[in-house]
């Protein structure tokens, strides 16, 4: 198959161009390169790998929970250990895996998919990763030292407040959340700017791939949702550390304030995870159905609508608090309404498969599993959106079943699909299809065996977050079944890890476009060079690789001797200006460390808020130190000729 | 305990709604997955791609139709949901029995409201109600957030410190209905149960009159010794036995302990053996519980148990 790279030979090129690009964009060698990299691909890979490590830890915690609940009155864990473990499981999956892995994979994929050389603000991107890493290490250090948080990932006050959670445990939680918020907001900003200002010429908004749309919407949701939990977690930290009373009812504070702030973030967060996953599905389905996506515009509108409506549902987490009827009705209506855009996407996926010629490789299997699980989770979602019904099932295993169908089904499954789909691009090697199919079927069966019985357990009165139950409850058998299912999931993850380890060395070579896919990242080598494309492509249609003209136009005017990126207009992606993208730098790491000192130290002494910023100052000076750049006076017309 | 076995009008209406959701949801699921499987089957057999305006137009009609059906179904469910919401939230009728439930880590304080202070009953972890009479439950919390839930009677209601909330329920047939705390409230959230005992109005009235009496005075020497143990050891610091010098309200009121079916918030049957284990070492039964262990000599324990078991 011919690619843009091949097409370049027909262009009048400077013969040494590729070597110059290599020289300009190459990272620092060795360990130093590891600490100073600002390439969106190396940071993105590292980010995904770290998030995946936390996924494994969260999975181990889930296994411990399932083993404890396998039998009534089991004594494997005591209540204190259990509470720490289920809190760690939720916190890890939401704050250290869910949101980060979404933004991490976008950090890797988006610049390639929109046809640019690097993400915007690459040093900030590296800084975001370091902050996230510090947060994750901090949380797990606390856990290992028996200072793991134990009030649930939702940390309801007053239980999480100073009076009922003395010690440092919930301080660790509050500050971990702060680290993740900083990293997420940073990634959201970079992705928005990259998507809006760095698309390859010709990729006007109506030619933007659906995954890019999904990430654009997600990034805006991040920007509006994260400040709410940032505010809440800092108020909690203040209540705990300096004796404010934001949440203390005895002193005029309000426990509901926490719930509103937390769920104003917490519900959109579900969509921060789901929207990119739906974007993955919308990219993968056309490739494996071997036809264009049906209803592109409808899907874009559905993504945007979901982003908006996601902010109108948070109160359905509070239906049991005794709110007035009228407000409950409003939030019920919003909770049911969000099923419509989700339905639009599901119908468009089915229509695409209907008129296509599906090829059942592992990525498509995971997407099909996703649809099967997500539709079920969506239907139970409509059920828990109803006030009276929710008052029965709220805080029971019915909700545990629902949320895991949605989050494992509609988030982890598409993520695995994406992993199988883009692994060849990232590493240059294919994952084993045979292992992939084992991985899929074990996982799919495991999820259903684990979570489907929980619907019944919830109806039978089994409440959430309990470390044990009495034999008379009659919940034992279904719990044992659920635990057996969880072991199947664990086995599938082992297959997955084995597949990666084997394929990294022995997997078949991928070539540029092994799946015959249509987005721009498949128009460069696998793995892509540090500069992504020898020449930035010019986009001629909604499916840039499928719809290329014979001329295969490219951008030739960017300097190969500087880290130049092309800035284009927001709507039409017309060339607008050139921008110098910064090179490797140690300052992101050196700036992240004082952030760690401030927030971690702040738990122990207020002096941290003096020492941290004092350390931050030299780092910021180093970061902002001007660099001599030789002038380049060519106009944008010459560049984009 | 099951939400699928309603014993009162509120739980009944909710379960009807649940059945509607489950039926409709199953049909929708079967149809969507049916379409998906059929799409895969017929697409998988295809050798040539299909395309062109006619195909796209056909798909558009199908998808638009599906969206319309989805929207109509959701609107229908919204109406059904609002109707049930109204029905379950109807105001307490005159003559309703009012019960105040206060959440504690990790037990339930139950107080029957009565305009006449001397006719108020205080008990713990066990609610008796007359069958067929409307009951208004007013909830609040002394410490963290708990949630009051009796699946067979009604949905749950949070107990939030600093707030009062209320709900209405009714039992239409006699029985013992299990309730539990549904909001995570710390170490012993798992063992914060209670029981609702719905009985005939006559039996309820008799129980109520019994609860109004002060604690039984010790009748035997052993019981007298037991009361001395109760009053001289840690017990008196937290518990009340009306009619004796013990009047602290930190822990459950024990005035009529022997009349209750369980101890430790529904954890153990109220038998002599369990009571002994609980008094000596509550931490091994409910790790983290706020009741401290008690070191008693064998004869002290025997006397104390005799006294506690006499408090009917």
| Closest alpha carbon within chain A to B84 | A388
Q: A11 or B133: which carries more pLDDT confidence?
A: B133
Q: CA separation (Å) from A392 to A32, A467, B10? A: 57, 21, 10
Encode pLDDT of A463-478 as tens digits.
999 999 999 999 999 9
State how far residue A335 is from chain B, nearest Cα, in angstroms: 10
Is the model's pLDDT at A8 over the cut of 70? no
Is the model's pLDDT at A383 over the cut of 90? yes
Encode pLDDT of A485-504 as tens digits.
999 999 999 999 999 999 99
What is the arithmetic mean of pLDDT over B94-113? 94
| Closest alpha carbon within chain A to B153 | A392
In this prediction, residue A640 has a pLDDT band, given cuts at 50, 70 and 90, of low
- Between the two ends of chain B, the Cα-to-Cα distance in Å is 27
Encode pLDDT of A181-218 as tens digits.
999 999 999 999 999 999 999 999 999 999 999 999 99
Interface test with B, best of A461, A462, A471, A543 (most B CBs within 10 A): A461
Residue A578 burial (CB < 10 Å; 0-12/13-18/19+)? buried
Are B2 and A459 inside 8 Å of each other by CB? yes
Structure tokens at A499: 């597949």
In this prediction, residue A560 has a pLDDT band, given cuts at 50, 70 and 90, of confident
Report the residue from B77, B84, B178 with minimal CB separation from A336: B77
Are A394 and B182 inside 8 Å of each other by CB? yes
Structure tokens at A611: 């020492």
Is the model's pLDDT at B4 over the cut of 80? yes
- Tell me the chain B residues in contact with residue A289 when contact means C-beta distances shorter than 8 Å: 43
Does residue B65 contact residue A345 with C-beta atoms inside 8 Å? no
User: How many beta-carbon contacts under 8 Å exist across A and B?
Assistant: 241
Name which of B264, B263, B287, B103 is nearest B181 in CA terms: B103
Encode pLDDT of B46-92 as tens digits.
887 777 889 899 999 999 999 999 999 999 999 999 999 888 876 66
Does residue A132 contact residue A178 with C-beta atoms inside 8 Å? no
In this prediction, residue A637 has a pLDDT band, given cuts at 50, 70 and 90, of low
The answer to whether A353 faces chain B, any CB pair under 8 Å, is yes
Report the residue from A159, A393, A473 with minimal CB separation from B185: A159
Q: What is the pLDDT of residue A523?
A: 93
Sign of the alpha-carbon dihedral angle for A26, A31, A32, A34 = positive
Q: Worst-scoring range by mean pLDDT, A167-171, A194-198, A372-376, A634-638? A: A634-638
Share of chain A above pLDDT 90, in %: 86
Is the model's pLDDT at B115 over the cut of 80? yes
Please give the Cα distance from B80 to A386 (Å, whole number): 10
Encode pLDDT of A393-448 as tens digits.
999 999 999 999 999 999 999 999 999 999 999 999 999 999 999 999 999 999 99
Tell which A residues from 139 to 178 touch B, by Cβ distance under 8 Å.
Answer: 151-152, 156, 158-159, 164
List phi, psi (to 5°) of B108.
-115, 125
Three-state secondary structure of chain B:
CCCCCCCCHHHHHHHHHHHHHHHHHHHHHHHHHHHHHHHHHHHHHCCCCCCCHHHHHHHHHHHHHHHHHHHHHHHHHHHHHHHHHHHHCCCCCCCCEEEEEEEECCEEEEEECCCCHHHCEEEECEEEEECCCCEEEEEEECCCCEEEEECCCEEEEEECCCCCEEEEECCCCCEEEEEEECCCCCCCHHHCEEEEEEECHHHHHHHHHHHHCCCCCCCCHHHHHHHHHHHHCCHHHHCECCCCCCECCCCCECCCHHHCCEECCCCEECCHHHHHHHHHCHHHHCCCCCCCCCCCCHHHHHHHHHHHHHCC
Report the residue from B14, B86, B157 with minimal CB separation from A322: B157
Q: What is the pLDDT of residue A30?
A: 87
What is the arithmetic mean of pLDDT over A155-166? 94
Encode pLDDT of B165-185 as tens digits.
999 999 999 999 999 999 999
Tell which A residues from 299 to 338 touch B, by Cβ distance under 8 Å.
Answer: 320-322, 325, 328-329, 332-333, 336-337
| Closest alpha carbon within chain B to A318 | B158
Three-state secondary structure of A253-298:
CCHHHHHHHHHHHHHHHHHHHHHHHHHHHHHHHHHHHCCCCCCHHH
| Closest alpha carbon within chain A to B66 | A347
Mean pLDDT of chain A: 93
- Tell me the chain A residues in contact with residue B31 when contact means C-beta distances shorter than 8 Å: none
Q: What is the pLDDT of residue A7?
A: 39
Is the model's pLDDT at A4 over the cut of 60? no
Q: What is the pLDDT of residue A68?
A: 97
State how far residue A437 is from chain B, nearest Cα, in angstroms: 17
Are B188 and A79 inside 8 Å of each other by CB? yes
Is the model's pLDDT at A3 over the cut of 60? no
Q: Worst-scoring range by mean pLDDT, A65-79, A269-283, A540-554, B152-166? A: A540-554
In this prediction, residue A632 has a pLDDT band, given cuts at 50, 70 and 90, of low
pTM: 0.95
Q: Worst-scoring range by mean pLDDT, A241-250, A296-305, B273-282? A: A241-250
Please give the Cα distance from B177 to B205 (Å, whole number): 19
- Tell me the chain B residues in contact with residue A250 when contact means C-beta distances shorter than 8 Å: 161-162
In this prediction, residue A557 has a pLDDT band, given cuts at 50, 70 and 90, of confident
- Tell me the chain A residues in contact with residue B70 when contact means C-beta distances shorter than 8 Å: 339-340, 343
């Amino acid at each position: 198959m011919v690619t843009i790279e091949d097409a370049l030979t027909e262009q009048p090129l400077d013969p040494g161009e590729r070597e110059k690009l290599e020289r300009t964009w190459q990272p620092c060698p060795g360990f130093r390169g590891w600490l100073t990299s600002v390439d969106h691909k190396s940071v993105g890979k590292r980010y995904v790998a770290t998030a995946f490590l936390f996924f494994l830890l969260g999975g181990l915690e889930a296994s411990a929970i399932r083993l404890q609940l396998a039998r009534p009155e089991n004594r494997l864990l005591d209540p204190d250990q259990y509470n720490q473990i289920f809190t760690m499981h939720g916190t890890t999956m939401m704050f250290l895996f869910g949101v980060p892995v979404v933004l991490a994979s976008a950090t890797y994929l988006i610049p390639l998919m929109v046809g640019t050389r690097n993400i915007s603000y690459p040093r900030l991107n590296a800084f975001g990763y370091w902050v996230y890493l510090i947060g994750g290490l901090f949380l797990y250090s606390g856990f290992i030292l028996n200072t793991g948080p134990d009030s649930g990932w939702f940390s309801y006050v007053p239980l999480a407040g100073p009076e009922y959670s003395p010690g440092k445990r919930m301080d660790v939680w509050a500050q971990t959340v702060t680290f993740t918020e900083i990293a997420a907001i940073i990634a959201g900003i970079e992705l928005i700017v990259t998507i809006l200002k760095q698309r390859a010429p010709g990729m006007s908004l109506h030619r933007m791939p659906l995954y890019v749309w999904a990430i654009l919407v997600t990034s805006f949701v991040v920007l509006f949702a994260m400040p709410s939990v940032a505010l809440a977690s800092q108020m909690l930290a203040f209540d705990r550390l300096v004796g404010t009373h934001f949440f203390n009812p005895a002193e005029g504070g309000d426990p509901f304030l926490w719930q509103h702030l937390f769920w104003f973030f917490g519900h959109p967060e579900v969509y921060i995870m789901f929207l990119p996953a739906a974007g993955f599905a919308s990219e993968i389905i056309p490739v494996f159905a071997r036809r264009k996506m049906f209803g592109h515009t409808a899907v874009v509108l559905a993504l945007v609508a979901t982003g908006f409506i996601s902010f109108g549902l948070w109160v359905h987490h509070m239906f049991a608090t005794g709110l007035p009827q009228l407000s409950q009705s409003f939030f019920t209506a919003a909770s049911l309404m969000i099923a419509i855009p989700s339905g639009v996407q599901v119908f468009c996926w089915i229509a695409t498969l209907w008129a296509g010629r599906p090829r059942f490789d592992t990525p498509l299997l995971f997407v099909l599993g996703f649809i099967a699980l997500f539709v079920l989770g969506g239907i139970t979602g409509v059920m828990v959106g109803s006030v009276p019904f929710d008052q029965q099932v709220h805080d029971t295993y019915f909700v545990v079943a629902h949320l895991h169908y949605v989050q494992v089904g509609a988030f982890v499954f598409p993520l695995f699909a994406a992993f199988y789909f883009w692994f060849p691009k990232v590493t240059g090697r294919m994952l084993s299809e045979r292992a992939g199919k084992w991985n899929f079927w074990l996982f799919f069966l495991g999820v259903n065996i684990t979570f489907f019985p929980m619907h019944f357990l919830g109806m039978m009165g089994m409440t959430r977050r309990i470390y044990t139950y009495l034999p008379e409850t009659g919940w034992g058998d279904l719990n044992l079944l659920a635990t057996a299912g969880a072991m199947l999931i664990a086995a599938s993850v082992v297959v997955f890890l084995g597949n990666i380890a084997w394929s990294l060395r022995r997997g078949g070579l991928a070539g540029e476009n092994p799946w015959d896919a249509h987005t721009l990242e498949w128009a460069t080598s696998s793995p892509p060079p540090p500069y992504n494309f020898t020449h930035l492509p010019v986009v001629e249609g909604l499916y840039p690789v499928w719809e290329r003209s014979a001329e295969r136009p490219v951008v030739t005017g960017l300097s190969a001797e500087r880290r130049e990126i092309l800035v284009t207009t927001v709507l039409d992606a017309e060339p607008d200006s050139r921008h110098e993208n910064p090179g490797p730098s140690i300052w992101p790491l050196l700036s992240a460390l004082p952030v760690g000192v401030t927030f971690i130290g702040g738990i122990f002494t207020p002096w941290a808020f003096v020492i941290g910023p004092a350390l931050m100052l030299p780092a910021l000076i180093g970061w902002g130190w001007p660099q001599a750049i030789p002038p380049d006076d060519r106009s944008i017309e010459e560049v984009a000729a | 305990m099951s939400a699928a076995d309603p014993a009162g009008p509120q739980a009944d209406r909710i379960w009807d709604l649940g059945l509607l959701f489950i039926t409709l949801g199953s049909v929708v699921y079967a149809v969507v997955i049916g379409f998906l499987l059929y799409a895969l089957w017929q697409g998988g057999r295809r050798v040539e791609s299909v395309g062109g305006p006619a195909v796209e137009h056909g798909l558009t009609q199908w998808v638009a139709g599906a969206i319309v059906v989805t929207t109509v179904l959701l609107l229908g469910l919204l109406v059904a949901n609002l109707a049930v919401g109204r029905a379950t939230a109807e105001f307490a009728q005159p003559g309703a029995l009012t019960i105040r439930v206060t959440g504690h880590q990790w037990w339930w304080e139950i107080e029957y409201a009565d305009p006449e202070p001397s006719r108020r009953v205080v008990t713990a972890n066990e609610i008796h109600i007359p069958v067929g009479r409307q009951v208004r439950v007013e909830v609040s919390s002394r410490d963290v957030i708990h949630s009051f839930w009796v699946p067979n009677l009604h949905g749950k209601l949070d107990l939030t410190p600093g707030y009062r909330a209320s709900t209405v329920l009714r039992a239409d047939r006699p029985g013992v209905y299990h309730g539990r705390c549904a909001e995570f409230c710390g170490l012993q959230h798992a063992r914060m149960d209670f029981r609702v005992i719905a009985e005939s109005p006559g039996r309820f009235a008799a129980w109520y009159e019994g609860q109004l009496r002060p604690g039984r005075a010790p009748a035997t020497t052993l019981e007298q010794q037991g009361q001395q143990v109760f009053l001289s050891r840690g017990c008196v610091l937290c518990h009340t036995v009306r009619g004796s010098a013990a009047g602290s309200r930190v822990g459950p009121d024990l005035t009529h302990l022997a009349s209750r079916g369980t101890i430790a918030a529904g954890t153990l049957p109220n038998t002599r053996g369990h009571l002994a284990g609980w008094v000596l070492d509550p931490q091994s039964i409910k790790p983290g519980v706020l009741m401290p262990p008690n070191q008693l000599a064998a004869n002290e324990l025997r006397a104390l148990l005799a006294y506690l078991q006499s408090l009917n």
